[in-house]
Amino acid sequence: MLNSNDGATPESNASSNHADRLAPAEEEVHLVPPLNFAMVETGIFRSGFPESKNFSFLQTLGLRSVICLCPEDYPKTTMEFLRSNGIELYQFGVEGYEEPFVNIPDDTIRDAMKVILDPRNRPVLIHCKRGKHRTGCLVGCLRKLQRWCLPSVFDEYQRFVAAKALVSNQSTGHRKTMDDQKPVVP
């Protein structure tokens, strides 16, 4: 007399049941942070301009707001990502410079700082094109409000701008590059 297994042995039936219980393979999700991504403090992040390959990573942050310091229009795909995730965009069009604290209007800094300091906007991502100079200036202003000493503010700034950073030599008035430490005459 055959049982309901149609002649299957208990061993083969057990392995078949185990295979049925396995979930189908899910598509692997790669979490790729934007260029120069870092946490500034809890609920405040910084980076370069987010690209579509960064969207899965950004979703893990639960962002409420993005502060963009670039004057260019936001790409359509990025705007759709923000809308579909309920993320508010605050855009402050600051022209790019490779030197800190040059030609960024005080009112722009104040307006951007208001967004950062309002806890209703957190978690917030601050970014510019590469996450270096403009973002570094805004984060530096936050650090001063947090009572960081100026050398620590500049150290953090230099970590993100790397070898392209220009450091002012206060004793000679010359600028030096980080990589060769030779004076660059303005």
Q: Catalytic annotation on 128?
A: yes
Contacts of 4 (CB under 8 A, 6+ apart): none
Q: How far apart are CA 124 and CA 45, in angstroms?
A: 6
Residue 20 lies in a domain: no
Catalytic-labelled residue, pool 68, 70, 128, 137: 128
Residue 1 lies in a domain: no
> What is the pLDDT tens value at each position of the chain, 186 positions in all?
444 445 555 555 554 554 455 455 566 778 999 989 999 999 999 999 999 999 999 999 999 999 999 888 889 999 999 999 999 999 988 776 655 555 778 899 899 999 999 999 999 999 998 888 889 889 999 999 999 999 999 999 999 887 444 444 333 344 443 333 333 333
| CATH label of the domain that carries residue 67 | 3.90.190.10
Owning domain of residue 97: 29-184
Residue 16 lies in a domain: no
Q: How far apart are CA 127 and CA 136, in angstroms?
A: 9
Residue 19 lies in a domain: no
Residue 11 lies in a domain: no
Residue 12 lies in a domain: no
Map tokens 């055959």 to a residue.
2
Taking only the tens place, the pLDDT of each residue in 115-159 is 999 999 999 999 998 888 889 889 999 999 999 999 999 999 999
Q: Is the pTM of this model over 0.75?
A: no
Residue 3 lies in a domain: no
As for how many domains the chain has, the answer is 1
**What 3 state SS string does the chain have?**
CCCCCCCCCHHHHHHHHHHHHCCCCCCCCCCCCCCCCEEEECCEEEECCCCHHHHHHHHHHCCCEEEECCCCCCCHHHHHHHHHCCCEEEECCCCCCCCCCCCCCHHHHHHHHHHHHCHHHCCEEEECCCCCHHHHHHHHHHHHHCCCCHHHHHHHHHHHHHHHCEEECCCCCCEEECCCCCEECC
Residue 4 lies in a domain: no
Q: Are 48 and 131 in contact (CB under 8 A)?
A: yes
